[in-house]
Structure 1
């Protein structure tokens, strides 16, 4: 990875956060459709909308209140839409905005962006109307390989070899979706979670200390986060080995011990980034808290192997999913939306509350499996998650869909 990864979209000063490649579009594309002037606008909106609606639909189906005729297996639909639908949209919004910043190439906008977004929407419709049919499966599988091809093309065209790991991870997510839909589904699910975790470890491990360093320097702090170095590479290697073992043999004792090692390594890594010094800015603090869910998830997965009577595998998955993926994507979408629209990089009360609700949702959902009344806590977790993303939409729809007034 290149040092450019430590300069992701939206970390500049208010009014100057937009990268040069994007500003060349003069804040709007040639078709005049503002929503499709930049990749983060439609995809972040779509991710927020899916997150706020898919979980309530799943809970209504789970409770027997609602039946979707095109979804014969509600649990599989829920898992797919949150891991490949929601994450796919959040990832697309981030990469379509960040890759031009890494490569110096013009961003995808206008008609091509509309077409790419249409593929994502078609996938959501297919999963609702024909989730297990051949047509629905084929349509749902299109978006991620196309998104991977777009990222490969942009990175390769710029000769940006140091960001090839990102291309490989997007490709791995597309492969995981194929395995999930065509079988074996459990292997595809684990591969999807492992890929998402590695994305956060890799990209989050660059942006979190970078953002923290910039923020602390503005406050004349002398103690700064440790820059990316050999220790970080070692942590990534340990994490990759642990996740690969877990994907291949989730009940293997060696996988459990490897996950425990990955937990310890990532806690050490996180401790070097001075997260406690960011308490005054929730928009920055939340990135540290979101990353914390990764070692917590590794710990729970390790315990589910080493002490299966105490911890269920699904608790580790929810820590990684709702906590790590959910909170990190919400944090990055909020930050990028503010930065790329020229607004101050600070969280208001609504945004801070949204972060708190999603963090609470993850914690409650993990704890539910230890409760005497798990359904009560599951419903509470669903309400908190939905409330968090509804607040995100309430706060960011005007920012993402409308031009900022001069």
Structure 2
């Protein structure tokens, strides 16, 4: 297990080093963590405090939903996979100029969707699809080269997220809000498949490395069942789009949405059950761990709410409609789930790969708590009341401070070489720390 899941490097005592482009572009997490976190700060600030700056053809809601899922959450996931795959396979998928090109495509997409008008929209769409294609191709190449068979599905999932992105953008261009949200849910579920796959592997590993004497079972069988049902939910969602099956509240239950809902329900239950086997009481004194457990728990809870939403078996007036609004499962999974998990992963994996001690300083811990506060406040704002707008502003402020603290603390490290390794003159394509045979 340690050979398979070791996605960190041994910490070393930091020594001063200047910024280095070679170090900055040595692994995917360095530029993409900075890019994704920076954009998360900027996009939320625009959405909440300066929405008048957001233009067409993407509407306000469409732009916000797109940039949060594809511009931030999935970008961070790709940065993680481009880094972890180097350890899983023994080969670095992207570095140097190819990695720089991928990041430039990402930047073109962000600017095009924000400022470009219709022409910029099409340029941004092309750049974004090339970004996903480039990332998926790079991952597939090293997975095959390193014979990392258990990870062969990851490039396909990244490509599927790119296709869901394209479908979402086409619905946004047509101005079809119902179709837009259905396709957003498709992307959300696809990302949930990726997040569950990654988290189920790394969270127990991180916990056992940090808590002396802690033993956690692999839960391989439940993991396979979890993946099977989550993929079934994703396929059912695709078939809903192909067949045009109605999913709007009040349209009544239909077979495909029921299959989708049932699959998500089972996936969510398995996720919560796995948490119990991971002995959460043993990590309560480790903020670097409980933040990951908390994010995983919210994903499971959010999947249960999504199942309820998609089943169409609810009373729309229930609790003023709050519990059955699409915004509820979207923010439970996306903000309380993915983003709490992300702030923990951004910190833990960056410290490991940068050769730094695996310990939180005050700013890092504050960032964790601020992200939790942002999630709680945003969920509270879903309840219709006079305080909703104030809760929304507080949630946005906590979000900006959380990721702002991360950038303030980590950008100086991400642009410099590891203190125990000088910046390479020419970056080798093969990772030196893990042999391919160990990662199979």
Q: TM-score range by the shorter chain?
A: 0.7 to 0.9
C-alpha contact 1:193 1:321 (8 A) present in aligned 2: yes
Note if 1:365 corresponds to 2:378: yes
Report the alpha carbon displacement of residue 136 of structure 1 after superposing the two structures with TM: 3.4
Which residue in 1 is equivalent to 2:395?
Answer: 381
Matched, 1:211 2:206: yes
- The aligned counterpart of 1:396 is 410
Q: TM-score, normalised by structure 1?
A: 0.87
Alpha-carbon spacing, 1:188–1:5, altered in 2? closer, same or farther (3 Å): farther
Whole-Å separation in 1 of the counterparts to 2:339 and 2:6? 19
Q: Distance in 2 between matches of 1:273 and 1:44?
A: 27
| Alpha-carbon shift at residue 395 of structure 1 (Å) | 1.3
Q: Show the counterpart of 1:54.
A: 43
Q: CA RMSD in A?
A: 2.6
In structure 2, what is the Cα distance between the partners aligned to 1:157 and 1:61? Answer: 47
1:192 maps to 187
Structure 2: runs of 5+ lacking an equivalent: 172-178, 421-440
> In the alignment, what sits opposite 1:286?
291
Which residue in 1 is equivalent to 2:110? 124
User: Matches of 1:75 and 1:220 in 2, distance apart?
Assistant: 48
Query: 1:236: how far off?
Result: 2.6
Alpha-carbon distance change, 73 to 283 in structure 1, aligned in 2, over 3 angstroms: same
Tell me which residue corresponds to 1:15. 12
Shift of the 103–258 alpha-carbon distance from structure 1 to 2, 3 Å rule, reads closer
Say whether residues 1:78 and 2:64 are aligned partners: yes
Q: Map Cα deviations across residues 135-157 of structure 1 (whole Å, 9 max, x no partner).
A: 33323332112211111122122
Match of 1:309 among 293, 317, 322: 317
Matched residue, 1:271: 276
Deviations 1:269-297, CA, capped at 9 Å, x for gaps: 11111122112221111111110111111
Cα separation, partners in 2 of 1:393 and 1:142, compared to 1, 3 Å: same
Preserved CA contact (<8 Å) 1:281 1:347: no
CA distance in structure 2 between the partners assigned to 1:122 and 1:4 by the alignment: 39
Q: 5 Å matches for 1:104-115?
A: 104-115=90-101
Task: Tell me, in whole angstroms, the C-alpha distance in 1 between the residues paired with 2:230 and 2:53.
Answer: 40
Aligned twin of 1:343: 356
Q: Which has the higher contact order (CA 8 A, sep 6+)?
A: 2
Corresponding residue to 2:148 among 152, 155, 160 = 160
1:388 to partner: Cα distance: 0.9
Kept after mapping to 2: 8 A contact 1:179/1:188:
yes
Contact 1:131 1:137 in 2 (8 A): no
User: What whole-Å deviation, never above 9, does each CA across 1:25-69 have from its counterpart, x for those lacking one?
Assistant: xx999x95331122211111111101111011011344xxx3234
- 1:355 is aligned to 2:368: yes
CA distance in 1, matches of 2:372, 2:233: 25
What whole-Å deviation, never above 9, does each CA across 1:234-273 have from its counterpart, x for those lacking one? 2332333345445636554724444333332221111111
